[in-house]
């Protein structure tokens, strides 16, 4: 079985915005993201993105827009990502979907497809819904945040992906 790090997109792999990120010119990859991904990949982790993209259901952008951003992300990070799952639904605009985090169907599909060992896997996300989806499938979680909530949301907290990646690799080698 394989170990995996599931990654939220907006706020983890790229800068989040108050509106939606669906154009390459707005897709800003923070310093340290590529280094963090490389660190995880070199440690033997599959890297799988799981992202809600409700702007599709809202009619603000298309699936093609999302795929262009994902292709750009792959190009910028040297094709380190093994797969990208996204949920185009929103219950207020089209349909209720178990793909949409905090539900966990995107993760469950990847776990089945890639034969992932959840006991050695992680989810890194910046929102409570990300952490909840990870906990639903039994992976450990890292909450990307600058303000540590009381009580903490994830199993671990980090300021950015690079710090989270270092933490995951260090904890894996310690156990």
pLDDT digits (tens, 9 = 90+) for 136-150: 999 999 999 977 767
Catalytic status, residue 8: yes
Architecture of domain 4-174: 3-Layer(aba) Sandwich (3.40)
Distance CA 125, CA 136 (A): 14
Q: What is the pLDDT of residue 153?
A: 86
Catalytic one of 8, 65, 103, 130? 8
Q: Quick one: tokens of 108?
A: 């469950």
Radius of gyration of the chain (CA): 15
Q: What is the pLDDT of residue 44?
A: 97
Catalytic status, residue 19: no
Q: What is the pLDDT of residue 168?
A: 97
pLDDT digits (tens, 9 = 90+) for 89-122: 887 778 788 899 999 999 999 999 999 999 999 9
Phi and psi at residue 65, to the nearest 5°: -60, -45
- How many residues are recorded in the chain? 175
Distance CA 108, CA 124 (A): 16
**pLDDT-above-70 percentage for the chain:** 99
Distance CA 168, CA 143 (A): 12
């Amino acid at each position: 079985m394989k170990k995996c790090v599931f990654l939220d997109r907006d706020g983890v792999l790229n800068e989040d915005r108050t509106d939606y990120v669906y154009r390459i010119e707005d897709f800003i990859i923070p310093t340290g993201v590529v280094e963090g991904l490389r660190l995880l990949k070199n440690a033997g982790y599959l890297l799988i993105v799981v992202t809600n993209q409700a702007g599709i259901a809202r009619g603000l952008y298309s699936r093609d827009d999302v795929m262009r951003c994902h292709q750009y992300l792959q190009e910028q990070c040297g094709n380190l990502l093994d797969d990208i799952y996204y949920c185009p639904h929103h219950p207020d605009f089209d349909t209720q979907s178990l793909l949409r985090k905090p539900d966990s169907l995107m993760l469950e599909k990847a776990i089945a497809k890639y034969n992932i060992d959840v006991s050695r896997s992680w989810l890194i996300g910046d929102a409570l819904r990300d952490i909840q989806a990870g906990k639903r499938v039994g992976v450990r979680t890292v909450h990307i945040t600058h303000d540590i909530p009381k009580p903490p949301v994830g199993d671990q907290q980090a300021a950015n992906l690079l710090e989270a990646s270092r933490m995951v690799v260090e904890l894996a080698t310690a156990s």
